[in-house]
Amino acid sequence: MSPSLQIIDSFVATCSQALKRGAGFLLDQQHRDGYWWADLTADSTLESDFILVELWRHSPVNGVWNPPTRDLVEKAKQAILARQLPDGGFNIYAEGPSEVNATIKAYTALKLAGLSQDHPAMAKARERVHTLGGLQAANSYVKINLSIFGLFPREHTPSVPPELMFFGKWIYEMSSWTRAIVIPLSIVHAMNPMRPVPAGFTVNELFVPGVRPNLDYPDNEGFFSWRHFFLKLDKALKFWERHPIDWVREKAIRKAEQWMLERTVNSDGVGAIYPPMMYVIMALDLLGYPSDHPHVVEAQKQFLNLLVNDERGFYFQPCFSVVWDTGIAAYALGESGIVPQSVLTKAVDWLLTKEVRRKGDWSIKRPHLEPSGWYFEFANEFYPDIDDTAQVLLALARGKGSDKAKQDACMKRAVEWLLSMQSKDGGWAAFDVDNNWDFLSYVPFADHNAMLDPTCPDITGRVLEALSACGVPHHYPSVRRGVDCLIRTQEADGSWYGRWGVNYIYGTFLALRGLQAAGESDREAHILRAGEWLRSIQNGDGGWGESCASYDKNTYVAAASTPSQTAWAVLGLLASGDHISSSVQKGIEFLIETQRPDGGWDEKLSTGTGFPRVFYLQYHYYRHSFPVLAFSAYLAARNANGVKHT
């Protein structure tokens, strides 16, 4: 054997050992019921909001606030303080800059928890808020939350009227998560509770003097614009709020209540995500439900279930990612080809129990479609999502359950559901079809940057990969439309935008995987451009990294290399037909060199996206599952080209 072949063979053997260690680590994390479930963590705003919720649940008596959960409030206070940056602010992603909303929330929560505004940490935070524009610069949801307690003028917050419920199917033109948040919040907003705070408590010191707090008309837009229209409408709504027709408002509140309560059934809370669960607690209280009512007890239980309070620390998770974690881990292990089938059987059997078999919000636009699909959490049956469904199908295609007929029938239903959830532009979104009324982004309370759920390249790519894995042919019309959508949405530099992962590396890897699965030649110009882009942004250490700031700049922003993003880039290059370049080899070497002795990897940066520019996530299994998938794909490519691995 020539020296060069010996080197190649040795490197492949090293990769094989790294794969075995990585797969072994994942195997050790599997729950006895068959699933994988890691923490899903975010920024300090969840702990800050928790203190606000506790203020709601235990309003001060005679100006004294002493809730029975005082120990939890104290732990939340310490957890928030631990995340303060040297400049006094708080960020929304690891190693990111101070952000005004997170800093305002933290300051308010710390003050409510008993920290004096003269404390050095508070003085620094207050100074940072002023530098960032003051309380006037906060987004709508911060202002609305503060207005509930009389800490921000109600007249200068956007109206969230329950009369939205009279719009019928039009409310489903908002994204699923916006509906889940806004409808419970509309009840709270309509009832204008003005909950008391401790005597003399204000956050007026956060206002920048001389700056108006009201909703301003933007100077850079013409008078005849959607934003002007909605601001005029907001003024009309405020007049309505001062002079409502009582029976109309009551009917609207009851319709919102009914909608909200229906979505607590077979779900770990409305939407199974933190913000609506918080507002449901408030809404039920205002609607007069006693503290021992089953709805109230369940709402508070589901909310507090998101709390981690043990040896890992004190923090809230925004939701549970168990189906998602399981789909990715099972797929990665299935692709490795080195794990016992019994491991995958347990995972498949568990996933089959989570298939949705009842209609949810998605059925408004697809009323005749048979229910199927998977959600993200342990239970969220009104909201199966397209991304989870595609990922679970990839896992099911690589594993065999204990009941083949049941699995086959389930996969057939899910494939049909996916095909029918394709939007008109050929792509796929997260939860809904054709959820793209752009003018709704100008609604005053839409500044969470996620009012809509349009199609995106990352989900479209994953769906194409899943359809191929389930036997849908390349020439199938839906597949060709999906391919056309990806080609059409490619960025000028050759990358693709990633809506649900940070950012262009994520979108590009999934677009390339989807195009490869759909039969696109790796000699096509769009494939070659994407591969060249990935090689051009590789870090000097051989890995890849991208900052959440990419969303702010609308272009790739480099960051320190991470295992998950390096794995994505390697997977993207392999899908582009590149398995021999120095870029691929250096990427694999980075993953080998950074692997821990136990087979896992460390990762501190946020690589998941909730709401771009607003809320980011750390998926704590990404750093383990995706490198295993990358090693598997690399070794498969080398094997296909005559280099065996053992």
Q: Is the pLDDT of residue 350 over 80?
A: yes
Contact, 517 vs 476, CB < 8 A? no
**Structure confidence at residue 218 (pLDDT):** 52
Cα 543 from Cα 567, distance rounded (Å): 8
DSSP state of 616: E
Out of 15-19, 369-373, 423-427, 639-643, pick the least confident. 639-643
| Residue-averaged pLDDT of the chain | 93
Q: Other CB atoms closer than 10 Å to residue 10's CB: what's the count?
A: 10
Percent of the chain's residues with pLDDT above 70: 95
Quick one: fold of 3-41+319-434+456-640? Glycosyltransferase (1.50.10)
Q: Is the pLDDT of residue 1 over 80?
A: no
Residues in the chain: 646
Task: Report which of 287, 263, 423 is spatially closest to residue 358, judged by C-alpha positions.
Answer: 263
**Rounded to the nearest 5°, which phi and psi values hold at 150?**
75, 20
Contact, 90 vs 142, CB < 8 A? no
**Structure confidence at residue 8 (pLDDT):** 63
Cα 145 from Cα 55, distance rounded (Å): 12
Read off the pLDDT band of 123 (50, 70, 90).
very high
> Residue type at 618?
Q
Cα 138 from Cα 146, distance rounded (Å): 11
438 is a catalytic site residue: no
Quick one: fold of 45-316? Glycosyltransferase (1.50.10)
Q: Is the pLDDT of residue 223 over 90?
A: no
Read off the pLDDT band of 645 (50, 70, 90).
very low
User: Which of 64-78, 155-169, 561-575 ranks highest by mean pLDDT?
Assistant: 561-575
Q: Is the pLDDT of residue 6 over 70?
A: no
Q: Is the pLDDT of residue 351 over 80?
A: yes
Would you list the DSSP string of 223-244? SSSHHHHHHHHHHHHHHHHHS-
Asked whether the domain spanning 45-316 has the same topology as the one spanning 3-41+319-434+456-640, the reply is yes
Residue holding tokens 């029976």? Answer: 247
- Interval 145-154 mean pLDDT: 93
Q: Is the pLDDT of residue 207 over 80?
A: yes
Residues 6 or more apart whose Cβ sits within 8 Å of residue 249: 162, 163, 190
Percent of the chain's residues with pLDDT above 90: 85
Q: Is the pLDDT of residue 646 over 70?
A: no
Catalytic hit among 43, 268, 361, 387: 387
Alpha helices (H) along 399-540: 404-420, 457-469, 477-489, 504-517, 525-536
Cα 338 from Cα 557, distance rounded (Å): 37
Domain ranges of the chain: 3-41+319-434+456-640, 45-316
